[in-house]
Structure 1
Amino acid sequence: MDNILISGAASGIGAATARLFHARGWRVGLLDIDASALRALADELGGVWHARLDVTDAQAVQAALAEFCGLHDGQLRLLFNGAGILRTGDFESIELEQHARLVQINVLGVLNLCHAAFPYLRVTAGAQVINMGSASAVYGVPQLASYSASKFAVRGLTEALELEWRRQGIRVGDLMPPFVNTPMVASQAEPPPVMRRLGVHLQAEQIAAAAWQQAQGAALHRPVGLQFGLLYALGQVTPGWINRLLMNWLSRP
C-alpha cells in the first residue's frame, strides 16, 4: 500500500489532499504546527499518524521522517510539501521579520523536508515529491513580493531536483495554482489588486485532485485551473515584456 506524508496538513490544501488520498486507500501521515487542528483531522481519518512540526526545525523534521517512515519499512512513496504562509501588502509596509519568517517556512521548510526524505525516497519504488508551487512563480507579483520570491525558489529547487533525482528513480514536480479559497488566502487583510482582478475561483479540493493526478503521472510543473493554464501556456511562448505588461495590468488598483 502506498504512503504519503503531507506538511501543512491541518487545513486548506493539505487537509483536502489528506482526505482524498486516505479515501483512495493510501496510508497518510500528517504534519502541521497547529496541533489541535492536526489532531482533529487525524481523528476524522480514523487515527492516522500525525505529528506537530515546525518545518523550519531541521532536527525535528528529521525525527518526524524517521518515525513515519519507520512505520512503513523505511519507505516513502510520496512527500507532499504543502506547508506555507502568505502575507500580502506593499513590500515596505510589511515588517522585515515577517518577510523572513515567510521565506523560512516556504523555502527552508521545503529544503528541510526534501533533504530528510531523500534516504527513504531513494529506496522506494515510484517515489515522488510534490512541492506546492504557485502561479506567482511565473512572474513576480506586486504586493506579494516575498511570497512570489519564495515560490520562485521552490520552482528552481523543483527543476534542479527533477534532474538530479531522476537518476535515483525519484520524480519531482510542483503544482502551480493561482489563488485558492483557503483560510490562508481568506485571512489577508489587504487583498492585492491581482487577486481582485483574477478572483479566487479554485477550491482546496481541486488542488488535491491535481495532486492525485500528479501522483499517477508526474509533470515538472502542473498549472491548475483553466484560467491560469491558458495564461501559463501563453507565457511559455510570448516575449518577457508581454508577461510584464500583463502583470502590470493585473496589478493595477
Structure 2
Amino acid sequence: MKVLYAHHPEDFKTYTTEKIRDQFLMGTVFLADQVELTYSHVDRIIYGGAMPVEKALTLDAGKELAAEYFLERREMGVINIGGPGKIVLDNEEYALGNKDAIYIGRGTKEISFESDNPETPAKFYINSCPAHKKYPTVKVGLDQAIARPMGQDASMNKRTIYQLIHPDVLESCQLSMGVTVLEEGSGWNTMPCHTHERRMEVYFYFDMEEDTRVFHLMGQPTETRHIVMSNEQAILSPSWSIHSGTGTSNYTFIWGMCGENLDFDDMDHVAMKDLR
C-alpha cells in the first residue's frame, strides 16, 4: 500500500510534472490477482483496485491501519468496472455486474473478491474512509442510482452523473461515490469549475480507448496545473484543488468523496474570469 502525505497548496506551486505524477497519480490501479491500494493522509482515504483472475482475493488490514481487520474502523464503497464477479462479505455473497456498486458498512470482518470468468475478470474499484458508525451494507445497480443529466452539446460537456453512494440512495458516514458518463462529442467536465473546502475527492478515469487522454486540471483556481491521464488511472484531489478536465474523446469516471459533510452540492464555484 503506497502512503501519500498531505500537501500544502503553497508547496504545490513549485512541483514539477514528475513530482505531481508521483504524489497525486495512481498510474496502475489493476493488476491480475492483486489488490493495489493507495493510502492518503488527506481525510485518510484509501483507494485502488482488486482484480481477481485465477483466484479469489482477500482484503486485509495490513500494518498501515493497525487494525484487526480492514473495516474495523472504516466504511467502503466498491464499483465493478469489469466483467461479472462477486464480493463475499462475512460469508454472504453479492453479485456485481459492470458498474454495479456496493456500500459496505463498518464492522464487516471478512472481504473477498472473485470473478465469474477469468477471460473477462471483474475489476473492483475501491474507496474507503474512516467511519464513526455502522450502516447496513447495500448493493446499488446503475439503474437504482440517481441520474442527473448535465451540460449541453454547445459547450462540449453533455454528461450524466449517476449518484450511487449518496444520502438520497443509502446511509453512510462520510463516503459518497458515483459514476459520470460523458456522451460522444463531449470532453469537458465541471467547467466552470469549483472546489469544495469541506471534502476531498478522488477521480478514476476508465472506459477510454488506448490512445485517449484526459488532461486533468488541479491546483488552486489561480495556480492551475494539469496532469495527463490514460485509461484506468486514479488521481487524488485535495479540498483546495479544482478537479476538472477535458479529454481527447469522451470518457467515464468514478468520483469518490469524503470529509466534513455529505452535501453533494456544497461547492465553492469559480468564475471563468478568475481562473489562471
Calculate the TM-score normalised by the size of structure 2. Answer: 0.32
* Greater fraction helix: 1
* Greater fraction strand: 2
